[in-house]
Chain A
Amino acid sequence: LAKTTQPISMDSYEGQEVNITCSHNNIATNDYITWYQQFPSQGPRFIIQGYKTKVTNEVASLFIPADRKSSTLSLPRVSLSDTAVYYCLVGPRGNNDMRFGAGTRLTVKP
Chain B
Amino acid sequence: GAGVSQSPSNKVTEKGKDVELRCDPISGHTALYWYRQSLGQGLEFLIYFQGNSAPDKSGLPSDRFSAERTGGSVSTLTIQRTQQEDSAVYLCASSLRGEGTEAFFGQGTRLTVV
Contacts and interface: CB of A to CB of B under 8 A. Distances in A.
Interface residues of A, number: 23
The A interface is mostly helix, strand or loop, or mixed, namely: loop
A91 B59 CA distance: 17
A95 B59 CA distance: 17
Contacts of B99: 94
The B interface is mostly helix, strand or loop, or mixed, namely: loop
Interface residues of B, number: 27
Contacts, number: 67
B105 A44 contact: yes
A13 B63 CA distance: 46
A43 B93 contact: yes
B11 to A, nearest CB: 16
Contact of B56 (A97, A101, A103): A97
Contact of B103 (A42, A98, A102): A98
Interface of B: 4, 31, 33, 35, 41-43, 45, 48, 50, 56, 59, 91, 93, 95, 97-108
A94 B98 CA distance: 4
B50 A96 contact: yes
Contacts of A34: 100-102
Contacts of B105: 42-45
A87 B41 CA distance: 12
Interface in A34-51: 34, 42-46, 49
Nearest to B93: A43
A100 to B, nearest CB: 4
